Amino acid sequence: MATATMTSKGQITIPLQIRSYLAVHTGDKLEFMIEEDGRVVMAPLTGDVRELKGMLPKPKKPISIEQMNKAIAKRGADL
């Protein structure tokens, strides 16, 4: 079992074994949840960008990079 000690500022260092298991790195975000039975669960909020594939439908008609840039520029001019 891995253990950690809290500093006076409320900070802990997650042991290497746990960081490796969760595949978390510097800058990654972690979520803490309190379960109904009182246990505290920690889970990484990181994921592989490839997991997002297929979440949005394909556009009805293709849009070129130039069209995207024009739309972005126009929207930026409206601000």
Question: CA-based angle 72:77:79, to the nearest 5?
Answer: 100
Name the 3-class secondary structure at 27.
Answer: coil
Q: What is the pLDDT along the chain (79 residues), one digit of tens a residue?
A: 889 999 999 999 999 999 999 989 998 899 999 999 999 999 998 767 787 888 888 888 888 999 999 999 988 776 6
Q: Which uninterrupted H or E stretch holds 43?
A: strand 40-44
pLDDT of 48: 73
Query: What fold does the segment set 9-47 form as a domain?
Result: Pemi-like Protein 1; Chain: D (2.10.260)
CB 14 within 8 A of CB 4: yes
pLDDT of 78: 66
